[in-house]
């Protein structure tokens, strides 16, 4: 009797193969054939789930977003509300680092997301996904900053989102060749500015 095929598990296998290829070769290096080979499947199995490499890139980016989302869920905004001073700053930094390339796993995730964002500039098919990811992150940042009492949380979230983008580019490309320790130091300094929490844990007026 032939083994029963789990379509959910097989689709996930294809998505993870596409994820790995985007990390290794970028959008230009990904094709249905390469994804099929990476997943150990025939190309027909890949086509059963995805129409083309555009669908695969979007699915890989969604996978990266889901991984980031699970990590962010470990830092609920409700837990931030009870914190002040250095404790609030540390918790906020941990939350933001959930979406920054501070280790290999997160570096791979942001690489996939940045590939989709770059592609969305000229490929309208990716614009909705890229826009939704940006809006979701901005909402999380706004709620977190408001929870720790940052003035003008909307503006602060916009500034922090822009910083995340810049730090990410400088960490995963030769553009800035930014080391993890420097990334964390820059982030902490910026969080102090946004929250007005000084080095001693007191809030500047």
- The 10s digit of each residue's pLDDT in 26-48 is 988 888 999 999 999 999 999 99
Q: Is the pTM of this model over 0.85?
A: yes
- What CATH class has 7-195? mainly alpha
- The 10s digit of each residue's pLDDT in 42-95 is 999 999 999 888 899 999 999 999 999 999 999 999 999 989 899 999 999 999
Domain boundaries, the chain: 7-195
Alpha helices in the chain (DSSP H): 7-25, 32-39, 43-49, 53-72, 77-80, 85-97, 104-120, 127-147, 153-172, 180-195
Q: What is the pLDDT of residue 170?
A: 96
């Amino acid at each position: 009797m032939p083994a029963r095929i789990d379509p959910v598990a097989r689709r996930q296998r294809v998505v993870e193969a596409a994820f790995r290829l985007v990390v290794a070769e970028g959008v230009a290096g990904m094709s249905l054939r390469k994804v099929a080979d990476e997943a150990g499947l025939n190309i027909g199995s890949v086509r059963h789930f995805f129409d083309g490499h555009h669908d695969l890139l979007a699915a890989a980016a969604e996978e990266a977003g889901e991984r980031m989302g699970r990590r962010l869920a470990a830092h609920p905004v409700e837990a931030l509300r009870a914190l002040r001073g250095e404790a609030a700053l540390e918790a906020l930094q941990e939350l933001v680092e959930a979406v920054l390339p501070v280790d290999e796993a997160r570096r791979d995730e942001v690489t996939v997301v940045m590939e989709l964002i770059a592609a969305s500039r000229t490929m309208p098919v990716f614009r909705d996904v890229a826009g939704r990811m940006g809006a979701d992150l901005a909402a999380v940042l706004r709620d977190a900053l408001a929870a720790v009492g940052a003035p003008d949380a909307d503006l602060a979230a916009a500034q922090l989102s822009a910083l995340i983008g810049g730090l990410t580019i400088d960490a995963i490309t030769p553009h800035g060749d930014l080391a993890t320790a420097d990334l964390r130091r820059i982030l902490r300094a910026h969080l102090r500015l946004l929250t007005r929490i000084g080095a001693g844990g007191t809030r500047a007026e």
